[in-house]
Amino acid sequence: MRWHYLLYIIDAILAPANISATPVDSIVFDGLHISEFAFINSTTVVCPTNFDDTSRQFYFTKVKDFNKTVNGIMAIKSNDPFEGYKKSYNRSSTQDGVAFWTRPNDFNFLVSKGSQFKSYKLILPKNMMMDSFFYNDSLLMKGGSNALNNFFYQHNRIQITAMGSVFRCGDIQYFSFIKGLSSGSNDSYLYNLKSGGIYCSGKITPDSTCGHLPIIGVAPVAADSSYIYAVVPAYQLFQSKDENKDKNPVYSPAMENYFTTQNRKSSSVIAILKPKYNL
């Protein structure tokens, strides 16, 4: 499947910066959430520290056999404006032993391989970012103020309040933004780490090679070293089929069978996309 791209310009730059990941002694580990760790090997994981306990001094811990803290990784920065649970990162995805980490109201994401970390910083237009007063407001930044956060987000739908899914496919770095409380395909981007080209996934348009059917219905959901996986709702496929019938599209046998046996209320289709790396 060939991709037909419509370039979408955004004033954003990805700039990698190394972070020291020298292991240091840490406090006793007392629990982890199953969705927040990445395997280093068959017995050891790295996971974000729970900051409900103010004695915690590290962003991540290395844990062996899920019950023994090996060490802490990345001491907390003294100028970090985040408070409480918002200091903690969440694992966005893992591909080929590489994990991607994000946290709310932060425009950076971390990439880890084993216990080594690298930070990627996104430089965005000022009007898209949270104002500095947000980070200086203890009620907005502290844990336990979710209702206030949600009220603020509902009334600030242009500002980016978090990063969504972050994953990588070869040289293509994928990431998405959450604006206010929502995110869509137009808030999702594909960045070529080699060429510096950046594309909005919502602006990728179908052409005759895919029968003019959409190849991305919502933001892509996962990736591996070769492919990106997206979900296209059934109603969107049938709608595009009706809209493009005058173009006499040629569908694959699988899609012909789908249109014959399914309807607009059927299950969504998973689109497997192989990106061009010379974008």
For the ranges 10-14, 146-150, 238-242, the maximum mean pLDDT occurs at 238-242
| 148-203 confidence digits (pLDDT tens) | 667 777 766 667 778 888 989 888 898 988 776 667 777 888 889 888 888 888 88
Task: Indicate the SS3 state at residue 236.
Answer: helix
pLDDT of residue 9: 31
Average pLDDT taken over every residue of the chain: 78
Q: How confident is the model at residue 55 (pLDDT cuts 50, 70, 90)?
A: low
Is pLDDT of 68 > 80?
yes
| 22-54 confidence digits (pLDDT tens) | 554 444 555 555 567 888 988 998 988 764 455
Q: What pTM does this model have?
A: 0.77
Average pLDDT of the segment spanning 105-133? 84
Is pLDDT of 79 > 90?
no
Task: Indicate the SS3 state at residue 247.
Answer: helix
Q: How confident is the model at residue 87 (pLDDT cuts 50, 70, 90)?
A: confident
Which of 89-103, 128-142, 236-250 has the weakest average pLDDT?
Answer: 128-142
pLDDT of residue 7: 31
* Integer angstrom CA distances of residue 59 from 5, 90, 164: 38, 11, 20
Q: How confident is the model at residue 143 (pLDDT cuts 50, 70, 90)?
A: low
Q: What is the H or E stretch that residue 138 is in? A: helix 138-141
Percentage with pLDDT > 70 across the chain: 74
Q: How confident is the model at residue 5 (pLDDT cuts 50, 70, 90)?
A: very low
C-alpha 51/C-alpha 68 separation (Å) is 18
Of 120, 124, 37, 121, nearest to 73 by C-alpha is 37
Q: How confident is the model at residue 144 (pLDDT cuts 50, 70, 90)?
A: low
- Cβ(113)–Cβ(98) below 8 Å: yes
pLDDT of residue 42: 87
C-alpha 159/C-alpha 179 separation (Å) is 5
Q: How confident is the model at residue 261 (pLDDT cuts 50, 70, 90)?
A: very high
